[in-house]
Amino acid sequence: MTESRYATLARTLRKQIEMQVWLPGDRLPSLRDTCKQSGLSLMTVLQAYQLLESQGVIVARPQSGYYVAAGLQRPVRHQPDERLHAAEQIDVNDAIFDILKAGQDPAVVPLGSAFPDPTLFPQPRLARSLASAVRRMSPHSATANLPPGNEELRRSIAQRYAQNGIEVAPDEIVITSGAMESLGLSLQMVTEPGDWVAIESPAFYGVLQAIERRKLKAVAIPTDVRFGMDPDALEKALDTYPIKACWLMSSFQNPLGCTLPPENKVRLVEILQAHQVAIIEDDVYSELYFGSERAVPLKATSYRSEILHCSSFSKCLAPGFRVGWVAAGAYAERIQRLQLMSTLSASVPVQLALADYLQQGGYDTHLRRLRRILEQRQMAMHHAIIKEFPAQVSVSQPKGGYFLWLDLGENVDAARIYQLALAKGVSIAPGTMFSADERFRHCIRINTSFEWGPHTARAISVLAALVGEEIRG
């Protein structure tokens, strides 16, 4: 069969990309320029570009054109071990503490940090809102803002849910001291010590710490670097263990950066609903999407009242304010009672400050700028990794957030790389932070939110050299 003209053009362009004529992030010639150069019609050229886009080779940017997809040359390998891993006891706090403590040195390039670059946030504007809130506080403010929290702030959050097509009443929202408190309260709400919880593998280390504190048992569900938690593996786990809750990130998961495809979100919710398992959705990165469309959370499904949707302002607006929330649905009143018995409430002045900031407008403008910068920095870091690291190293390319996940190869000890890099002034997050066992000992997570410049370029070169030496033995 004779190959169509658009398919021939697509094959030619793909070969050019594979030969690195066009590098990741490069803008391809416009449709009209390609028409002139090839002599083909506009429709034929458009079909070729759309074919490459459907294959993940290039990406379209509205009003800008077509660009080579970052990371095409070296896609991340699927996780080799797809077996369920059950742990009746989690013991990770000490190791995680040591790693996090080591990365606090201001002389160290903090590629292992879990927090975004603090210079990205509107600190002067937030400071003005905080000062205004303190001036306006009445003697009764402390009691008036006890759980569920400041009414104006809860209403602003409910409005943002509504803008994304999700019905959440302000009364369903409980303001917390950061997302970790909302997640911890949610876990406490739906489990008792000794219960089984389904978690991602690899998982955010905060999950492991919470399970350890709560004296729970964990079933680690294989989580794909592109597609997230495996629904088939989850279903198998639910048929095998008496699981009471499932804790997962639906968008830009930490550490992989993966986002569940829409069909997988629906299936996961249906599976969990059928087994009457509570869903704790950790959605702290959802505002940090690249492109024009925000990923829809699990909370948007028909099962929304039974989903404990947790988020915060820490990753997108005010890390130091430590204000989060849980859209707790049917669990809202019981979550409030648990909070009253523990932290009592989130900081009242900070709640008032955030309410003031959100009401003044400008939050979405800030978010658009933040997303643009994070995408640019990720692309720069990704390109440097592709260029400098040994060929056996594979790297993810999330469409949001600020983490890259690197698979260094089975023979590389990421913990050793971490120690050697730290001695040279560079921190990373070794894969052992994200599992109760050693299955990710050859992987690392890198924070891409920091400005690309001489310091970060040197840090990547240092890491690349250390990994290369480790591979060569």
Domain stop point among 363, 391, 413: 363
Task: Determine the structural domain holding residue 13 and report its residue range.
Answer: 5-68
In angstroms and rounded to an integer, the radius of gyration of the C-alpha atoms of the chain is 23
Query: 107 pLDDT exceeds 90?
Result: no
Please state whether the predicted TM-score (pTM) of the whole model is above 0.75: yes
Is residue 346 one of the residues assigned to a domain?
A: yes
pLDDT in tens, 237-257: 999 999 999 999 999 999 999
pLDDT for the residue numbered 72? 47
pLDDT for the residue numbered 132? 81
Residues above pLDDT 90, as percent of the chain: 56
Confidence of residue 25 (pLDDT cuts 50, 70, 90): confident
Confidence of residue 401 (pLDDT cuts 50, 70, 90): very high
Domain stop point among 363, 394, 410: 363
pLDDT in tens, 158-175: 999 998 889 899 999 999
Query: 277 pLDDT exceeds 80?
Result: yes
**Do 114 and 129 fall into the same domain?**
no
CATH number of the CATH domain containing 457: 3.90.1150.10
Residues above pLDDT 70, as percent of the chain: 90
Is residue 74 one of the residues assigned to a domain?
A: no
pLDDT for the residue numbered 41? 87
pLDDT for the residue numbered 174? 95
CA distances from 38 to 5, 9, 125, 442 (A): 10, 9, 52, 46
Single-letter residue type at 356: D
**Do 106 and 126 fall into the same domain?**
no
pLDDT in tens, 29-87: 988 888 888 889 888 888 888 888 877 788 888 778 888 887 544 444 434 334 566 65
Q: Which residue has the tokens 């933040």?
A: 370
Mean pLDDT, the chain, whole residue set: 87
**Do 377 and 247 fall into the same domain?**
no
Give the DSSP letter of residue 471: H
Query: 372 pLDDT exceeds 90?
Result: yes
**Do 388 and 405 fall into the same domain?**
yes
**Do 320 and 418 fall into the same domain?**
no
pLDDT for the residue numbered 162? 92
| Mean predicted confidence (pLDDT) in 432-458 | 93
**Do 228 and 248 fall into the same domain?**
yes
Query: 123 pLDDT exceeds 80?
Result: yes
- Which three-class secondary structure state does DSSP give residue 60? strand
**Do 168 and 251 fall into the same domain?**
yes
Torsion sign, CA atoms 369, 370, 375, 381: positive
Domain stop point among 363, 398, 414: 363
Residue 404: which of 257, 285, 224, 226 has the closest Cα?
257
**Do 409 and 359 fall into the same domain?**
no
Query: 1 pLDDT exceeds 70?
Result: no
**Between 146 and 207, the higher pLDDT residue:** 207
Confidence of residue 128 (pLDDT cuts 50, 70, 90): confident
Q: Helices 205-214 & 178-190, crossing angle to 10 degrees?
A: 40
Give phi and psi for 346, each to the nearest 5: -70, 160
**Do 186 and 41 fall into the same domain?**
no
Query: 222 pLDDT exceeds 50?
Result: yes
Is residue 73 one of the residues assigned to a domain?
A: no
**Do 209 and 272 fall into the same domain?**
yes
Residue 77: which of 399, 407, 384, 379 has the closest Cα?
407
Is residue 37 one of the residues assigned to a domain?
A: yes
Confidence of residue 142 (pLDDT cuts 50, 70, 90): low
Give the DSSP letter of residue 400: B
- Which three-class secondary structure state does DSSP give residue 273? helix
pLDDT for the residue numbered 96? 63
CATH number of the CATH domain containing 21: 1.10.10.10
pLDDT for the residue numbered 76? 44
**Between 22 and 154, the higher pLDDT residue:** 154
Query: How many independent structural domains does the chain possess?
Result: 3
pLDDT for the residue numbered 267? 95
**Do 423 and 355 fall into the same domain?**
no
pLDDT in tens, 317-365: 988 888 999 999 889 999 999 988 877 778 888 888 899 989 888 899 9
Is residue 81 one of the residues assigned to a domain?
A: no
Is residue 79 one of the residues assigned to a domain?
A: no
Confidence of residue 438 (pLDDT cuts 50, 70, 90): confident
Give the DSSP letter of residue 75: P
Retrieve residue 448's tokens: 């891409």
With contact defined as beta carbons under 8 Å apart, do 55 and 65 qualify?
no
pLDDT for the residue numbered 103? 58
pLDDT for the residue numbered 94? 59
Is residue 75 one of the residues assigned to a domain?
A: no
Is residue 216 one of the residues assigned to a domain?
A: yes
pLDDT for the residue numbered 141? 63
**Do 374 and 435 fall into the same domain?**
yes
With contact defined as beta carbons under 8 Å apart, do 367 and 400 qualify?
no
